[in-house]
Amino acid sequence: MRYEPADPQFFVRNRKRLLEQLKPSSLVVIHSNDIMPTNADGTMGFRQNNDLFYLSGIDQEETVLVLCPDAALEADREILFVRETSEHLAIWEGARHTKEEAAKLSGVKNVQWSDGFEAVLHRLAPQVEHLYLQTNEYHRADTSVETRNRRFITQCQNRYPLHKYERVSVLLAEMRTVKDPEEIKFIQKAIDITEAGFRRVLKFIKPGVGEWEIEAEYIHEFIRRKSRGFAYTPIIGSGKNACVLHYVENNRICEDGEMVLMDVGAEYGNWVGDMTRTVPVNGKFTERQKAVYEAVLRVMYGASEILRPGLILSEYQKQVLELMEVELIGLGLIDSEEAKKQDESKKLVKKYFMHGTSHHLGLDVHDVGHPTSEFKVGMVFTVEPGIYIPEENMGVRIENEFIIGEERNIDLFAHYPTTVEEIEAAMAE
C-alpha cells in the first residue's frame, strides 16, 4: 500500500454511527466499484466506492460489506467479504489482502472470501425486514454506467421482492458531510502534496512552456510524495483557455504577458485536495492582472467569512455575488447604474462569474451533501470565486479549502503562496 492507512477505529466509528440510524430488523449490503474496461483487454485504474471505503477502509475490488445488527448469530452482525488471493493472482496482478490484513485495516473481525457472499446473503435476508442498498444519489451524478451496486439492486429485488428496500446513501451522505479528525488529517496531507506541486511549477513556468509540461511537473511531484496522482482531471489554462471552466486539453503554449490558471489537486489515501491558482506566465503581474487577481482574492477571503454554520448554499451564494458585484464595478466591467436597475433573475455579475463559489470536499472532490442543508461545524468546503474576461484573454480563479469552525473557519491552505507579492517572490526563486 502506497499510503499510510487510516486508523481502523475511524471505520469502526463510522459503522457504529450508521447502525444507530437503521430501522429495526435491517440488513446493509454495499459492494465495491468495478474495475472499468477501456478497449481490447485494457482497464482503467481502480477507484473504490467511497461509501464502502468510508465504512471499511478496504481499497480493492470485489469487496462487500454486510451489516446485520439484529442477526441471530453475533458473528453475522458484521461481515467483510474480500477477494481471495492466490499464487496465480499474485504473479499476474499482485496479491490481495489476506483475511488478517483486511481485519486489521477495517476493524471487522469476521472476514470471509467474496465467493461466500451469496450463501451468507441467502441465510441473513430471511431474518430481516429491511434491506439497505447503495447507489449513487449525488444530485449531479451521471448514472449511465451501471455499477456493481446497481446490478445488485436488480438481483436482490428479483430474489427478495417482498422485503422493504431502503437507501443507505442518504444516511451516509449526511454522515460524510461533517469530517472526523482522521479525515482532516488525510485531506490536509492531500493539500500539502498539492502545495508541493504548486511550488514546483512556480519555479518552472515561463514563456514558451506547454500547458501539458506544467501538468507533468505536478504529476511528478504528486507521485513522488505517495499520491496516486491527480484527484481529478487537471485544468491548466493559459490566456483565453482560462475562461473555459472545464478546460482539460492542456495543449497550448503559454505566452509572455498572459496568465495561466491551474485547477489541480492531489489524492492521498482516497481523500483529495482541490486548488486553483492563477499566475503570470513571465513571473510578474501587470497592473490590470494584479487588479483582477486582488479583486478575486478579496472575494475569496470575504466568502470564507460568510461561510458559517446555519447558512444554506443558496443564501451564501447570494451574498458572495454581492461581494463580487462591488469588485466588478471597481474593475469597470459592470456599470453601477445598470447594476441598480438589473433584473434579479439575470444578474449582471454572472457574465463574469457564472459558477458556484463552494462545494463540499472529502473522499470526493465534489463531495456528498444536500444543497439545501445548513452548513455545520466540521464541514470542509472549497471557496473558489473567479472573474473571466474573454475579451481580455484573462481568467482568474483562486481556490482554498476551509474547515467550518466554532468561532472561525480554518484555512487549510494557510501556508500557500497566495498574494501577488508571495507568488512573484516564489516564481523568482
Say if CB 234 and CB 193 are below 8 A apart: no
Q: In 10 A of CB 393, how many CB atoms?
A: 16
Catalytic residue among 220, 355, 408, 415: 355
Say if CB 45 and CB 230 are below 8 A apart: no
Instruction: Say whether 421 is catalytic.
Output: no
Instruction: Say whether 359 is catalytic.
Output: yes
Instruction: Say whether 388 is catalytic.
Output: yes
Measure the CA–CA gap between 126 and 116, rounded to whole angstroms: 17
Catalytic residue among 34, 327, 399, 401: 399
User: What's the grid cell of residue 170?
Assistant: 442518504
Instruction: Say whether 31 is catalytic.
Output: no
Nearest to 236, CA basis, from 259, 214, 203, 266: 214
Nearest to 315, CA basis, from 366, 364, 365, 356: 356
Instruction: Say whether 246 is catalytic.
Output: yes
Measure the CA–CA gap between 390 and 331, rounded to whole angstroms: 15
Catalytic residue among 246, 337, 391, 429: 246
Measure the CA–CA gap between 353 and 385, rounded to whole angstroms: 7
Instruction: Say whether 115 is catalytic.
Output: no
Measure the CA–CA gap between 307 and 174, rounded to whole angstroms: 18
Instruction: Say whether 163 is catalytic.
Output: no
Catalytic residue among 211, 263, 327, 364: 263
Catalytic residue among 15, 148, 277, 366: 366
Q: In 10 A of CB 227, how many CB atoms?
A: 26
User: What's the grid cell of residue 112?
Assistant: 470471509
Q: Which residue has the cell 471557496?
A: 383
Instruction: Say whether 4 is catalytic.
Output: no
Catalytic residue among 41, 74, 87, 407: 41
Catalytic residue among 268, 384, 401, 416: 384
- H/E element holding 67? strand 64-67
Distance of CA 374 to the CA centre of its chain: 19
Catalytic residue among 15, 176, 252, 359: 359
Task: Give CA separation, 310 vs 377, 407, 414, in Å.
Answer: 9, 13, 24
Catalytic residue among 54, 316, 352, 388: 388
Catalytic residue among 62, 211, 274, 364: 274
Identify the DSSP state of 207: T
Catalytic residue among 31, 96, 360, 397: 397
Measure the CA–CA gap between 208 and 292, rounded to whole angstroms: 24
Which stretches of 83-181 are assigned E, i.e. beta strand?
A: 110-113, 130-133, 164-167
Measure the CA–CA gap between 147 and 175, rounded to whole angstroms: 22
Instruction: Say whether 51 is catalytic.
Output: no
The residues assigned a catalytic role are 41, 246, 263, 274, 355, 359, 366, 384, 388, 397, 399
